[in-house]
Amino acid sequence: MTGPRYTKLVDSLPATVPFVGPEQQERARGAPFAARLGANENVFGPSPKAIAAMQAATGDIWMYGDPTSHDLRAALAVHHGVGMENIVVGEGIDGLLGYLVRLMIGPGDAVVTSDGAYPTFNYHVAGFGGVLHKVPYNDDREDPFALFTKAKDVGAKLVYLANPDNPMGTWHEGPALARALDDLPDGCLLVLDEAYVEFAPEGTAPSIAIDDPRVIRMRTFSKAYGMAGARVGYAMAAAELVQSFDKIRNHFGMNRVAQIGAPVALQDAQWLAKTCADVAAARDRISEIASGNGLLALPSATNFVAVECGLDGAFARRVLAALVEQGVFVRMPFVAPQDRCIRISCGPKADMELLEKTLPKALQIARG
């Protein structure tokens, strides 16, 4: 009896996933986490108005979602001052990255990213046979000049850059990124991941014409809008590229209830402002706790803070393990020298108090 006949590409890939979820870690440790500060979820939650809209919609869950996400795209078009033809909605940025790579990348095609940047993008590239070329961070920030230079050297079809960045929380000013586009080689598409941009200082998002064929911008409702579990992401780009997604995307992939809640969340500017203020206060609190323990918190434009643990990656991993053992879920960058840090998501007062209590013991354990 024979088994399934996988493609040569799939046979060549390792059995791996970009992230091990906190639920799996809880099962492995035999206890739930007391503070969930590792997945960059918005613990402050979505707009109560959006929750109410989604609750009201659950009775109609027997229906498929609108395969065009018309109402959500219409709301996004008004919000951003672009045409509906410039917006595609998908199952989070992760889903849209997978569709984009499927559209653009075949076996052997070159793709450029930063070494240590968001690994799900790399996962999709490898899954479609692309060849990843990586450049190092520069002063804990992704380096547009180095990325675009490498893209020119290898003939890349895609370049990935997150602004603000995950996992470091650093960012570039929008005008600087817009100027850097002049160095992007012909025939290369910049994948600009702006998942955290609502948390960032004004002017972080570059001013780029929506019909500029060199750029596709990725946004999400998972972060500032507090709807990570709803899986709603969207991309903005020239109409021709957006239309190309229809060739390969899952047209019934969107959750109907999420499609109804997202426009309501988008319109609740007051709740978004409150959430961003709560996140900013939590960032300051994480920095204070880090400083009180002799550690350095990197400036952040996201809903997490990268905290230097003072030594190397091995030491930071011991700190992380000791926090996890005490019920505090955090993550860390996985490439040196950024792996000298742990990455702590923002949370409410109770989570910050638990972090303040557990971090000194974690450092003591890590130091042996």
More confident: 19 or 201: 201
Listing DSSP states for 107-157 in one string gives TT-EEEEETTS-HHHHHHHHHTT-EEEEE--BTTB--HHHHHHHHHHHT-S
| pLDDT tens-digit map of 276-308 | 999 999 999 999 999 999 999 999 999 999 999
Listing DSSP states for 218-287 in one string gives EEESSSTT--GGG--EEEE--HHHHHHGGGTS-TT-S-HHHHHHHHHHHH-HHHHHHHHHHHHHHHHHHH
CA separation for the pair 47, 66 (Å, rounded): 22
pLDDT for the residue 99: 98
Domain-wise residue ranges, the chain: 20-45+270-366, 48-267
Name the packing angle between helices 269-292 and 349-366 (round to 10°).
30
pLDDT for the residue 3: 86
CATH architecture of 20-45+270-366: Alpha-Beta Complex (3.90)
More confident: 16 or 272: 272
pLDDT for the residue 338: 97
Identify the CA nearest to 89 among candidates 302, 268, 260, 226. 260
| pLDDT tens-digit map of 32-91 | 999 999 999 999 999 999 999 999 999 999 999 999 999 999 999 999 999 999 999 999
pTM for this predicted structure: 0.96
Mean pLDDT, rounded, for 198-216: 97
Which residue's entry shows tokens 């911008």?
217
Q: Quick one: pLDDT band at residue 333, thresholds 50, 70, 90?
A: very high
251 CB contacts (<8 Å, ≥6 apart)? 67
| Average pLDDT over all residues of the chain | 97
Say yes or no: do domains 20-45+270-366 and 48-267 share a fold.
Answer: no
The CATH T-level fold of domain 48-267 is Aspartate Aminotransferase; domain 2 (3.40.640)
Is it true that the peptide bond before 22 is cis, omega within 30 degrees of 0? no
Mean pLDDT, rounded, for 357-368: 97
| pLDDT tens-digit map of 221-251 | 999 999 999 999 999 999 999 999 999 999 9
* Residue 18 scores a pLDDT above 90: no
* Residue 1 scores a pLDDT above 80: no
Mean pLDDT, rounded, for 142-149: 98
